[in-house]
Each structure stands twice: as C-alpha cells, then as structure tokens.
C-alpha cells in the first residue's frame, strides 16, 4: 500500500499517517489484508507498544485486548477499532504526563 | 511541558507523542493551559490540518467544529475531545487511501 508522502505534512498530519502506516504494516501479513487477526494484533502490540503495555507475550493478555476491541466479534480488529485503542492509550499517556509534570513542577 | 524523548520509541509511540505535543503547543497559549479555546482551536486547525481540512479561516467553520467537539458545552476543547477529532479524521483518511489504492490497482 502506498501513501501520500510525508513531505509538507504538519506534525499532526505526520502522526495520522504514522498510525495508518503502522496498522497496514501488520494487517497485510495474513488473511484479510485490511484487518488484524489475533496473530497480527499480538505482533503489533509487542513490537509497537512494548514500552507502554509491557510484555504482552502471554496469550491471555492478547485475548483480553482482542475481546475488548473486537466489538463485532468476528475475531478481527478493523482500523476503526485500532484507532479507538490508540486514542484511549494516548489519553492515558497524556494524563500520566500531566501528573508527572505537576509533580516535577512542585519539586522545583 | 516536557515529554519523555522520542528516542527508542516505536513508530506508533512516536505518533502518540506527536499528538500530545501538538495539543499542548496550542492549548498553552491563553486561558486554561490544558484545554483549547476557540482561538487556540482555530490556530491548530489552520496550521496543523490545513492540508486535510482546507481553509478553516471562516468563523462559521471553526464554530461548527467547536460545537461538534465541545461535548460538555464549556467553550473549550479538552484533550479527549481533541483525540476524538483526530481519530475520526484518521479513519476518514484511511478510507480515502484504501479507495485510492484500489482504483490505482485496477488501472495497472
């Protein structure tokens, strides 16, 4: 899959393009090339979100994320479901950074 | 506001950090530094999403986005409301790219 190039894109447009690229990097590996199977989701979680989610190696953790995301129960995660996960994680990260910064300000 | 650095971050983690950075770049300009006022939202839309949204200079367009996003009607857009906008735009972009690619494939 080819995407418009990143030149001239703003910071936010680059972020949007990176999310689209990441999804398709994994979704194209097997089965439906526009959705993530359980194996593709596991690979995405461990490779791309290792720093935030810790070790998602165990099958139970992957099954739980798949269960939470796969709102139509077809065993596949589509792009909209993926964006909901990334959005929720980004909100959680932002809350964490704000709290961290407030503590850091108080120390000074 | 300082954020953990981008070194060692995966592509997806970089995208998440870029969204957080973009929001705070504009939200800190006036009033509550953790929300976007109407003026801050307008600056973000025109500067960061000009390629996708076209010219959002006119007041009506900014008012419409503000009205749609500001779910609690306080005249400010918070981080969660901002992420919902970016998520919806990213899903729309992905749909557009897929359609574009399919047409491109058929031509070959």
Q: Do B14 and A18 count as a contact with CB atoms less than 8 A apart?
A: yes
Q: Does A99 touch chain B (CB under 8 A)?
A: no
Give the burial class of B84: count Cβ atoms within 10 A of its Cβ; 0-12 exposed, 13-18 middle, 19 or more buried: middle
Structure confidence at residue A102 (pLDDT): 83
Chain A contact set for B51 (CB, 8 A): 8-10, 13
- CA quadruple B52, B55, B61, B65: dihedral positive or negative? positive
DSSP tag of A6:
S
Task: Please give, rounded to a whole number of angstroms, the shortest distance from the CA of A93 to a CA of chain B.
Answer: 8
Structure confidence at residue A83 (pLDDT): 96
Nearest to B94 among A2, A48, A79 (CB): A79
The 3-state DSSP class for residue B37 equals coil
Q: Do B98 and A34 count as a contact with CB atoms less than 8 A apart?
A: yes
Structure confidence at residue B80 (pLDDT): 94
User: Would the pLDDT of A7 be above 70?
Assistant: no
List beta partners, residue B77: B36
Q: What is the pTM for the complete model shown?
A: 0.85
B56-62 long-range contacts (CB < 8 A, ≥24 apart) are: B62/B38
State pLDDT tens for residues A22-77: 999 999 999 999 999 988 998 998 899 877 776 555 667 777 777 888 777 788 99
Structure confidence at residue B18 (pLDDT): 95
User: Would the pLDDT of A97 be above 90?
Assistant: no
User: Would the pLDDT of A3 be above 60?
Assistant: no
Q: Do B83 and A104 count as a contact with CB atoms less than 8 A apart?
A: no
d(CA A12, CA B16): 10
Chain A contact set for B3 (CB, 8 A): 97
Structure confidence at residue A11 (pLDDT): 94
The 3-state DSSP class for residue B18 equals helix
State pLDDT tens for residues B56-66: 556 677 777 77
Q: Which positions of chain B have pLDDT values less than 50?
A: 1
Residue A94 — very low, low, confident or very high, per pLDDT cuts 50/70/90? very high
- What is the second-level CATH architecture of the domain B27-107? Orthogonal Bundle (1.10)
Q: What is the four-CA torsion angle of B39, A101, A9, A2, rounded to 10 degrees?
A: -130
């Amino acid at each position: 899959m080819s995407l418009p190039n990143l030149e001239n894109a703003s910071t936010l447009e680059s972020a949007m393009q990176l999310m689209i690229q990441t999804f398709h990097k994994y979704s194209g590996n097997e089965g439906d090339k526009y959705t993530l199977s359980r194996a593709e989701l596991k690979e995405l979680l461990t490779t791309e979100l290792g720093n935030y989610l810790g070790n998602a190696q165990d099958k139970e953790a992957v099954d739980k994320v798949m269960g939470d995301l796969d709102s139509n129960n077809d065993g596949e995660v589509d792009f909209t479901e993926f964006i909901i996960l990334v959005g929720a994680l980004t909100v959680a990260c932002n809350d964490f950074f704000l709290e961290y910064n407030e503590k850091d300000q108080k120390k000074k």
